[in-house]
A and B are shown apart, each in its own frame.
Chain A
């Protein structure tokens, strides 16, 4: 099967297409590891607990386009959808969409040193689990 090189990841935040400002993207889905070991056990026992997802995007900052998208979401504590696909093509089994309803709880609109590109790393905290779709 074909391997993947990311060159065209598709990212929308609150329905705004922001892919052109995306340097890197990461979807982190995890389930709490709950220790349910009882007395008399000879080894740890585990059960999956609650899901805890987040989406981390490193953006190349742009005023007002990107900042104008992100700042109101932080300021108004808005819950908004984030949708990510491996490529900008249609959703399919080889190009699944990952969708989450998120909050933006931290945002650094400006950071960087003289002569460097202005970047901002944003963590979208998922309110619920990321859902994956292939149609």
Chain B
């Protein structure tokens, strides 16, 4: 399972723009969703901490 954030205007897996969710897409499904502008991989929690510490 990977975490994604909805980046397009349409709901993905029942989630609206800006919401994050977990899903187990195949590589091709993930590629199609990203190419369509629907989702992006969500930043990992460690990446979030890194950003927060840089900002802090």
Contact = CB atoms under 8 A, between A and B. Distances in A.
Q: Is the interface on chain B under 10, 10 to 19, 20 to 34, or 35 or more residues?
A: 10 to 19
Interface residues of A, number: 17
Interface in A62-117: 64-65, 68-69, 71-73, 76-80
A17 B33 CA distance: 12
A68 B11 contact: no
Contacts, number: 59
A17 B35 contact: no
A72 B36 contact: yes
Contacts of B23: 15
Given A15-B33, A16-B8, A68-B38, 16 more contacts: A14-B32, A15-B25, A15-B29, A16-B11, A16-B38, A17-B11, A17-B14, A18-B10, A64-B36, A65-B8, A65-B10, A69-B32, A69-B36, A72-B31, A78-B31, A79-B26
